[in-house]
Structure 1
Amino acid sequence: MTAVPAVPSTPTAPTTPALSHDLILRPITGSQEVELFNQLPYVFNHEVADDLSTGRRRHAWLWVALRGDRVLARVGWWCRPGDDAPLLFDILDYAEDHQDVGQLLFETAQAAVFPENGTPVKYTRMIPADWRTDPAARRAVEGRTAIVERCGARPFVERLRFEWLPGTPIPAPSGRLTFRQVAGREELLEVMTDVLAGTLDAHSLLDLRTMTPRQAAEEHYDEELARYPSPRDWWRLATLPSGEPVGFVIAAQGNYHPIIAYIGIRPAHRGHGYIDELLAEGTRVLAATNPARIRATTDVGNHPMAQSFLRGGYVNFEGEILLAWE
């Protein structure tokens, strides 16, 4: 994992006007400017104020391009609570016909947020599920990705986002599998290491280019799974009646919603429909907490997982694209 340098708390805004003498590029100066930052629409707008108060964002990471009181473009970065540096670049918006302003703002802000040629973090964008068939949505997606590609990023993966709502039926257990709580870190790591053989997940495949399966499993456990604030007794191991482990499901509280964080099936047990039973078990665990919704994500290329979500009563409500710098 690439280390990102800490961000200065008071980055200096550019003093040289750009594109026209009345265009100002700068970070927001405080929480009183959240409404200004949110002039341009996006699904994250309602979260920005709370993200600032919980440490997921910093004022120095939220930049705007202003002409008078009008926001022509904005960019923003996000992190997990407690982190000192951005984890994701997740806001890039510009007013109609102002893509050039968006490009300039991104280049200017990125130079301040990642000083001394630090490697930028991945760019992520939530997109409509039907963006390829909706001309307006497609123009918006391609316009934003063009900006980050011109700055050196390359497509990494496209993902499907799923949602389960209360009242949706959950398939009953078939009796083929027995579920119990994961005994501990070592037990889960042993199964995770086995599961990585033949994985379709783009992030795991990237890890396996430079790590052994065991190292990749440890990295995933320590940097993601262990950080969830929800109880570890939500994690389930599935076994055959003989006690042989088949796979696991990690139900967790994500940053904003309960989530199905990870489902894994050992290679020897794939192709028997166990994935549906693991998903149903994880959904039952979370449904017992009376959530407003349960969310889950999988790569577009992971067709077996996507189809399992649909069979399990989840709806593909949104997509996500990620671009990354080498």
Structure 2
Amino acid sequence: MTFAPPATTVRPLSGPDELPLFQRLTYVLDHELADDLATGRRRPEWMWVALRGDRLLGRIAWWTGQPGSAPQALDFFDLDDTLPVAEREVVGKQLLETAVASVVPAGSPRPEYGRYVPPDWREDPAAREAVETRIRVMEASGARMLVERLRLEWREGTPVPTDAGRLRFRPVTGREDLLALMTPVMEGTLDAHGLDDLASGLSAREAARKHYDEDFAGLSTPREWWRIAELPDGSPVGFVVPARNNYHPMISYIGVLPEHRGHGYIDDILAEGTRVLAAQGVDRIRAATDLGNVPMARSFERLGYVNFERAFNMVWDRP
């Protein structure tokens, strides 16, 4: 008599009480799950598991920064890495497609997939295999890699950057004040999300509005923290949006106008954003920049930010 292993069951959580089941696999965002469920940033019906008997083979979950809205991001996708790679891929495809069919309304765009990974994931064979397995599953479903990013952190005890005196800074006065600068910053941008928006047919103004509405909606900190950088004669040079999201103080957005690039002003503007947050007594400031945006990455490094993690983002070009 041959033994047939139990079939794989794919289903959503029945409620918050099943969170311990979901947490049998691990990821760096696990500590946020309970509060996200309590505040509505996650829902049990957005959190799915693949089970064989009582063994957790995989899990997947979506998130929103605006409770009550549709899911905005796919940010959990974990597989039991003790399974053979081929079996992991089969389980992953079944879990992904079954959950997507239920969570994402038919005909709607699939939310972007984001994953945090170790900074040396390519050099660590186990980490590389785990990352590449997930990428293959996503690609099989029609997703493509958009960007790999550096995740950076300024830590308490790092010297607070001083003001070089080349620029003066004023608070942003309103949405249009900032959009007027975000629009030209789209010219020659190295940001993959901005480039993707422009490639999709959006104008620079439309792309700027999209970033403003999507990136800043969940920021609860005062807009008086947001800064526009000017030359002594009042000419705008760029801007920075220091803020706090639901989890961390952060540099949410930063930009230099095309005509002022190449003069090192990015350091002055990042320094101002860092000073604004450091003055609040924070113990860390988070930031991120695309791996290909070398000038921005070097500016963060010069100001004492350390690369503690990487992230990659994948998108679907069709529903």
Say which SS state the counterpart of residue 250 (structure 1) adopts.
Answer: strand
Q: Is the CA contact (8 Å cut-off) linking 1:54 and 1:81 kept in structure 2?
A: no
**1:165 alignment partner, one of 129, 142, 155:** 155
Determine if the alignment matches structure 1 residue 252 to structure 2 residue 237: no
Q: Tell me the TM-score normalised to structure 2 length.
A: 0.93
- State the distance in 2 between where 1:156 and 1:42 align: 22
The 5 A counterparts of 1:209-224 are: 209=199, 210-224=201-215
Which structure 2 segments of 5+ residues have no match?
A: none
Q: Is the CA contact (8 Å cut-off) linking 1:86 and 1:121 kept in structure 2?
A: yes
Q: Match of 2:75? A: 90
Two-structure CA RMSD over aligned residues (Å):
1.5
- State the distance in 2 between where 1:240 and 1:275 align: 13
Q: Match of 2:182? A: 192
- State the distance in 1 between where 2:97 and 2:187 align: 39
Query: What percentage of residue pairs aligned between the two structures are identical?
Result: 55
Q: Tell me the TM-score normalised to structure 1 length.
A: 0.91
User: Shift of the alpha carbon at 1:309?
Assistant: 0.6
Determine if the alignment matches structure 1 residue 274 to structure 2 residue 265: yes
Determine if the alignment matches structure 1 residue 318 to structure 2 residue 303: no
Q: Flag the 1:266–1:115 CA change in 2: closer, same or farther, 3 A.
A: closer
Say which SS state the counterpart of residue 146 (structure 1) adopts.
Answer: helix
User: Shift of the alpha carbon at 1:255?
Assistant: 2.5
AA matched with 2:54 = D
Q: Match of 1:75? A: 60
Say which SS state the counterpart of residue 63 (structure 1) adopts.
Answer: strand
User: Shift of the alpha carbon at 1:127?
Assistant: 0.5
Which structure 1 segments of 5+ residues have no match?
A: 1-18
- State the distance in 2 between where 1:116 and 1:188 align: 35
Give aligned pairs, total.
308
The 5 A counterparts of 1:135-154 are: 135-154=125-144
The 5 A counterparts of 1:1-326 are: 20-95=5-80, 96-97=82-83, 98-99=87-88, 100-209=90-199, 210-326=201-317
- State the distance in 1 between where 2:280 and 2:76 align: 31
User: Shift of the alpha carbon at 1:189?
Assistant: 1.3
Q: Is the CA contact (8 Å cut-off) linking 1:157 and 1:322 kept in structure 2?
A: yes
Q: Is the CA contact (8 Å cut-off) linking 1:76 and 1:89 kept in structure 2?
A: yes
Q: Cα deviation per residue 1:38-82 (whole Å; 9 max; x = unaligned)? A: 000110111111111111111001111122322111111111132
- State the distance in 2 between where 1:24 and 1:58 align: 20
User: Shift of the alpha carbon at 1:307?
Assistant: 0.6
- State the distance in 2 between where 1:128 and 1:107 align: 27
AA matched with 1:307 = R
**280-289 vs 187-196, which moves further:** 187-196
- State the distance in 2 between where 1:167 and 1:301 align: 29
**150-159 vs 107-116, which moves further:** 107-116
Q: Where do 4+ consecutive residues of structure 1 move more than 3 Å?
A: 19-22
- State the distance in 2 between where 1:260 and 1:160 align: 13
